[in-house]
Amino acid sequence: MRGPLYPSTLPVASTRAEKFDALVLDALEPIEARWRTELTKLDVAVDDVPEVAKDTADAAADAEDGVLADSGVPLARLVRAGVDRRGQPTRARIVLYRRPLEARAKDSADLADLVHDVLVEQVASYLGLDPGVIDGES
């Protein structure tokens, strides 16, 4: 028999990246529902792995704006709004790194909790608030 085992419309046929993207959207939904007006100029993206810092200034910026795992590998990064090399304005964005997050989680429930916690921390950093306020604890 050749071809896919499952129809592409079923969740079991999704790739790991597609499942992770859905997990991020699920984690972002309650945050966006509560902070919609404050987050209108913020994008959320997913990359597989973080880029390697070219010099110590880039490494320092990564450490300042990122959530680091115990190994020093960033789990996410907040990229502030600014201007690109061509002089075009850029929007602020949170970049979640799929592979380091998956490697850190023990199972799918742990991954969901970790993604939620990282998103809360990054949104709090973007808004200049305590993570407990973003999560609705305070």
**What is the rounded CA–CA span in Å between residue 126 and residue 57?**
20
Q: Give tens-digit pLDDT for 3-49.
A: 666 666 666 667 889 999 999 999 999 999 999 999 999 999 999 99
**What is the rounded CA–CA span in Å between residue 25 and residue 119?**
10
Q: Give tens-digit pLDDT for 76-124.
A: 999 999 998 999 999 999 999 999 999 999 999 999 999 999 999 999 9
Tokens at 73, concatenated: 């590998």
Q: Tell me the helices (H) and strands (E) count for the chain, helix number first.
A: 5, 6
Cα–Cα distances in angstroms (integers) from residue 40 to residues 59, 93, 104, 109, in the given order: 28, 11, 30, 29
- What pTM was estimated for this model as a whole? 0.81
- In CATH, what is the architecture of 14-132? 2-Layer Sandwich (3.30)
